[in-house]
Structure 1
């Protein structure tokens, strides 16, 4: 077997793990199943990820990076915080929620797996801290670039944003009505912008 750098192997294994989790669910995912999906011996996978929990953390980080890429790659961050919130959440919904119910189920399962697995509770809080950090930095950058201030702290705005979108995602997963979800998302966006009380610095 030709030598492959650990960083490349890591990305391959995370991609394989995501495929297994999307298909079989997080609880049913094993290192052996991921190794089979990646087409490598179990020992090769364990050399990079010694435990299922280590692999799950890498998957969470991969999902966080995907969210960050959507928010930063599809939004003009020099047109103000209100524009960023409106455009960013709309793009996020289009690219990572609509027609991606299994991806959203996987993220929820990652959270519940950690909360129910003795000794892994910290992974759940770490998962949400990563989401909040990405949103906090993104909101701050949009406001600063446009010379604006916000009535809420950026981390509070991020937490409320996450709570609102999470709630819509749960409803969408249970009852995927796209028209209703888009209208509800517009309402959440309006509420966030109103609460932020954005003003010129």
Structure 2
């Protein structure tokens, strides 16, 4: 087998693991199954990831970074806070939820696995801290650029964005009714915009 850089092999294994996990779940995925998905000998897989837990940790980190990256890229910061909230939520849903129930189920399963596995609990906490920090940052940037203030701390607004999306996503994966989900997403967006209480900056509330 030709030499492949460790970083490339690592990404190859994580990508294969994500496919296997989305298809078979955490309990149904083994190192052997991931090796087969990646087209690698089991020995090579075990060299890169000596245990299933190490592989799952890498997958969780990869999924968190992908989701955080979508949150970061989704917001248009030049149209003010309300525009950023509306566009950010809509774009996130389009890119990571619509038509991707398997990805979302995998993400929930991995989060629950981290919470139930000794030594991995911090990954679940980091997941939500990461999402909240990214959203709070682009909300604050959008408000500052437009000379606006927010009626609640940006960190709180971000946590409620994440919590609202979590609930809608869970309903969507249990019953993928796209039209209804879009209507609910619009209603939640209106509530979040109302909570933000965007106004001209007269001493903006900072986090």
* Secondary structure, counterpart of 1:18 in structure 2: helix
Q: CA RMSD in A?
A: 1.9
Structure 2 unaligned blocks of 5 or more: 202-207
**Which residue of structure 1 aligns with residue 68 of structure 2?**
68
Structure 1 unaligned blocks of 5 or more: none
Is contact 1:27–1:113 with CA below 8 Å preserved after alignment?
A: no
Q: Which moved more, 1:75-84 or 1:137-146?
A: 137-146
Partners of 1:97 and 1:144 lie apart in 2 by: 29
Partners of 2:64 and 2:142 lie apart in 1 by: 19
Larger Rg: 2
* Secondary structure, counterpart of 1:26 in structure 2: coil
Deviation at 1:9, TM superposition (A): 1.4
Q: Deviations over 1:124-153 (max 9, x none)?
A: 222222222222223223223333222222
Mark the CA change 1:160 to 1:74 in structure 2 (over 3 Å): closer, same or farther. closer
Matched length: 201
Q: Deviations over 1:24-76 (max 9, x none)?
A: 01222222221221112233223333332332232223223332343343442
Under a length normalisation based on structure 1, what TM-score does the superposition of the two structures give? 0.90
- Is 1:154–2:154 an aligned residue pair? yes
Under a length normalisation based on structure 2, what TM-score does the superposition of the two structures give? 0.87
Mark the CA change 1:45 to 1:147 in structure 2 (over 3 Å): closer, same or farther. farther
**Which residue of structure 2 aligns with residue 53 of structure 1?**
53
